[in-house]
Amino acid sequence: MKQWFRKAALCLALVFSVITLAACGSTNKETVQPLDPTIKGQLEKQAMQYAENSIYSLSEETIQEQIDYAYKIKDAITYNGLTNYKNDLDRLGAFVSVDNAEASKTEEGYQIVINSTFEKRALKLTLGINEMSGSTTEMTFEPIYSTPELMGDAAGNLVVGMGTVFAVLIFIAWIISLFKYISVFEKKMKDKKDAKAAQAAPKAAPAPAAAPAPKAPVAGDDTIQAVIAAAIAAYEADTEGAVSAEGFVPGPTLNNNLRVRPLRNRSFSAAAVETAVASAPVVTSVAPAAVTPAAAPAPKAAGTQGSIKVDAPMPGKILAVKKNVGDAVKSGDCILVLEAMKMENEIVAPQDGTVASINVSVGEAVESGSTLATLN
């Protein structure tokens, strides 16, 4: 029920708005005043003669000349009126007669409506004349169309308008259908860009093959026997006559804590021993292999700890120490160089002061937050 009342109120409001607009339109019309019959008759006669002799009987070329002249003197009323009349000539056909005229008084002067007959249809010409200057204030040509003609024009305009709307909608739909290709185009451009970047990037060099470990030299059996025989001969020469109660002759202690025991329990022919001794060099001593000591780490610069700490912002390795203990520094001066993520990072003084201590050395690996130096 409430919905029905709302619809009724809306319809009443719409009707009231239409009536109000119509009333406002009627108030805009010029007020028609009574006109003296003598003046009225003269105006109607003169207007009919002007329309027949100065407009309807002219050729298209003459009308065009008057249009050009009106444009030259900037007479917009005559220019627009004659231009509309010339455009309607095809629909009017040949001029037949001027039927009647009706003059009336307006606020500015006079208004005369002239009805004429043409070959195809009637024409209503409205002329406005200023009472003071006598100049033309209005010139309109209105062909009179029949109801079927008006309906045909309306239908044609409707078809043209709807066709235009449909054409615009089809064009918009076509534009929207192209949006799906935007992502495809963007993907192709991205792939092309990635391919160019991959071609421009240098190829990684292949890792060098690991060198084969050197094989330890293997001594032959003959060489080992000759060395043992020489060692026994040298031992026997140094310990001649020193025989223990058990018949065991101790050999000398070598530098590598090895002992050489003679092989008296095995039978060797004197010729074999002499041949081995003659063919092999005599070993007098065996020196231990030299061991290279590991390089000691570089000593850290000592100093008394200061009150201002300079910490490592990230893990890395110390590349260089730019300041020494006792050096005066200003805020922003480089104290150390820290290598991190393949970059050289300068560790600077946070404020003015004197270097109290350097807590790291070149080549040392540090963690994030480690104290690298202190200042006073």
Q: Residue 248, SS3?
A: coil
The DSSP annotation for 303-349 comes to ----SEEEE-SS-EEEEEE---TT-EE-TT-EEEEEEETTEEEEEE-
The DSSP annotation for 172-220 comes to HHHHHHTTHHHHHHHHHHHHHHHHHHHHHSPPPPPPPPPPPPPPPP---
The pLDDT value recorded for residue 148 is: 87
The pLDDT value recorded for residue 296 is: 41
The pLDDT value recorded for residue 126 is: 95
Measure Cα distances from 309 to 315, 326, 364 in Å: 17, 15, 18
Q: How wide is the angle at C-alpha 316 spanned by C-alphas 315 and 320, nearest 5°?
A: 135
- Give the tokens for residue 359: 């807590």
**DSSP structural state of residue 28:** T
pLDDT band for 172, please (50, 70, 90 cuts). Answer: very high
pLDDT band for 207, please (50, 70, 90 cuts). Answer: low
Spatial distance between the Cα atoms of 147 and 55, rounded to a whole number of angstroms: 27
Q: How does strand 95-105 pair with strand 334-340?
A: unpaired
**What is the per-residue pLDDT across 101-135, written as a single tens digit (0 to 9) for each?**
999 999 888 999 999 999 999 999 999 999 888 88
Q: Which residue has the tokens 């081995």?
A: 276
pLDDT band for 299, please (50, 70, 90 cuts). Answer: very low
Mean pLDDT of the chain: 77
The pLDDT value recorded for residue 78 is: 93
* pLDDT cut 90: percent of the chain above it: 40
Q: Which of the residue ranges 100-104, 136-140, 305-309, 317-321 would you say has the lowest mean pLDDT? A: 305-309
Spatial distance between the Cα atoms of 36 and 104, rounded to a whole number of angstroms: 9
pLDDT band for 277, please (50, 70, 90 cuts). Answer: very low
Q: How many residues in total does the chain contain?
A: 376
- Highest-confidence segment of 132-136, 146-150, 290-294, 352-356: 352-356
Q: What are phi and psi of 137, to 5 degrees?
A: -105, -10
Of 162, 147, 153, 51, nearest in space to 102 by CA:
51
Of 304, 301, 365, 360, nearest in space to 336 by CA:
360
**What is the per-residue pLDDT across 231-240, written as a single tens digit (0 to 9) for each?**
666 655 555 4
- Give the tokens for residue 194: 């990635």
The pLDDT value recorded for residue 282 is: 43
Q: How does strand 371-375 pair with strand 353-358?
A: antiparallel
How many Cβ atoms from other residues are within 10 Å of residue 373's Cβ? Answer: 26
Bin 109: left if φ > 0, else alpha if -120 < ψ < 50, else beta. Answer: left
Whole-prediction pTM = 0.38
Q: Residue 271, SS3?
A: helix
Spatial distance between the Cα atoms of 349 and 331, rounded to a whole number of angstroms: 5
Statement: residue 315 has pLDDT above 80: yes
Residue 141: CB partners within 8 Å, gap ≥ 6?
A: 81, 84, 85, 88, 123, 124, 125
